[in-house]
Amino acid sequence: MAEFKHKNIIALRDLTKEEIELLLSTAESMREINSRDIKKVPTLRGKTIINLFYESSTRTRTSFEIAGKRLSADTVNITPSSSSATKGETLADTALNLLAMKPDIIVMRHAVSGSHYFLSGKLPNCSIVNAGDGTHEHPSQGLLDMLTMKDRFGRLDGLKVAIIGDITHSRVARSNIQGLTKMGSQVFLAGPPTMVPPGAERLGNVTVCATMKEAVQDADVVMMLRIQQERQGKTLMPNAREYSRYFGLNPENLKLARPDAMVMHPGPINRGVEMSSYVVDGPQSHILKQVENGVAVRMAMLYHVCGGELE
């Protein structure tokens, strides 16, 4: 098994296949902790983690907080409304103030792509974990998605994964493309023309499809994305009914996928837009399993950036 040599986890683009495999393997071990009556181990006792979220989050922020506490770290949550950012403090000044407090890990979500690389340059003695930066990447989501697929099929190599929706503005899509193609999966993309970035094929083993039906045909995994309204102008936004007609997942077009195909969504879900309620709550949905795996994956990330080694 590969050694994890990174102090930060900012993008799956920065990791090798072997390092991704190590993180997934560690996450599988962490699930045993999460199944206990007392879900706590002393692994990160004495470490301080700051969760710094400049954008709203429910699943990711809560999941990272639970992950840190289950590893016995001291966790501090900072949101824009409770921070000096509301008074005009820059990220650079925030970084200098945090540096003076000597945290061990900062988990940050920020609207600006690449902000974590900037922060890591300001905090050389602190590990930085990316909880989502602009339209760049969301590595923990990519890892938990891959773990969920691996749980279902026992492998990632050779899987056909269809990703449908707002690809252009989705950091989830980018992390999944980076991770899945490194692991040997084939990725098929589909969405409105204004929501699929030009040159997406250059990201890896990626095929851009003209229609949703083409992407979903014989897919092992169908991953639906929400429309990122907060990151785009109204001119790019199609009518919700029209969008659902051409790019919404329903029982009929799901039949185009393999009979044992799994349905995924990073959340939050807009029922009746990107997915029908029948599909969300149906037997092929693994959405809640994704949430469950999120805690184990984030425990693994925190563990390894602190230099943890499996015995």
pLDDT digits (tens, 9 = 90+) for 163-197: 999 999 999 999 999 999 999 999 999 999 989 99
3 pLDDT more than 70: yes
The pLDDT assigned to 246 comes to: 94
Mean pLDDT lowest among 139-143, 233-237, 283-287: 233-237
Name the band, by pLDDT with cuts 50, 70 and 90, for residue 235: low
- Give me the residue spans of the domains in the chain: 12-137+292-305, 139-290
The pLDDT assigned to 289 comes to: 98
How would you label 132-167 residue by residue, b for 16+ Cβ within 10 Å and e otherwise? bbbbbbbbbbbbbbbbbbbbbeeebeebbbbbbbbb
Closest by alpha carbon to 219, among 267, 249, 263, 272?
A: 263
Angle in degrees, CA 49, 55, 58, rounded to 5:
75
pLDDT digits (tens, 9 = 90+) for 239-278: 888 899 999 999 999 999 999 999 999 999 999 999 999 9
Share of the chain above pLDDT 70, in %: 93
Quick one: how many helices (H) and strands (E) in the chain? Answer: 11, 9
- Mean pLDDT, the chain, as a whole number? 93
Distance CA 121, CA 31 (A): 33
The pLDDT assigned to 230 comes to: 57
Mean pLDDT lowest among 118-122, 158-162, 258-262: 118-122
Residue 57 and residue 80 in contact, taking contact as beta carbons nearer than 8 Å: no
The pLDDT assigned to 229 comes to: 62
The pLDDT assigned to 204 comes to: 82
Q: Which amino acid belongs to residue 165?
A: G
Which class is 139-290 in CATH?
A: alpha beta
The pLDDT assigned to 310 comes to: 41
232 pLDDT more than 60: no
288 pLDDT more than 70: yes
The pLDDT assigned to 237 comes to: 60
Q: Which residue has the higher pLDDT, 21 or 241?
A: 21
Distance CA 196, CA 225 (A): 12
The pLDDT assigned to 1 comes to: 58
The pLDDT assigned to 234 comes to: 55
pLDDT digits (tens, 9 = 90+) for 83-104: 666 668 899 998 889 889 999 9
Asked if 12-137+292-305 and 139-290 have one fold, the answer is yes
Strands of the 74-78 sheet, one edge to the other: 74-78, 48-53, 105-110, 127-133
The pLDDT assigned to 36 comes to: 96
Helix (H) or strand (E) holding 206: strand 206-208
How many other β-carbons are positioned within 10 Å of the β-carbon of residue 291? Answer: 17
The pLDDT assigned to 81 comes to: 66
Instruction: Give CATH superfamily name and number for 12-137+292-305.
Output: Aspartate/ornithine carbamoyltransferase (3.40.50.1370)
Q: Alpha carbon 309 to chain centroid distance?
A: 23
Question: Averaged over 24-46, what is the pLDDT?
Answer: 96
58 secondary structure, DSSP code? S
The pLDDT assigned to 82 comes to: 63
Closest by alpha carbon to 161, among 182, 180, 140?
A: 180
What is the β-pairing status of strands 127-133 and 105-110? parallel
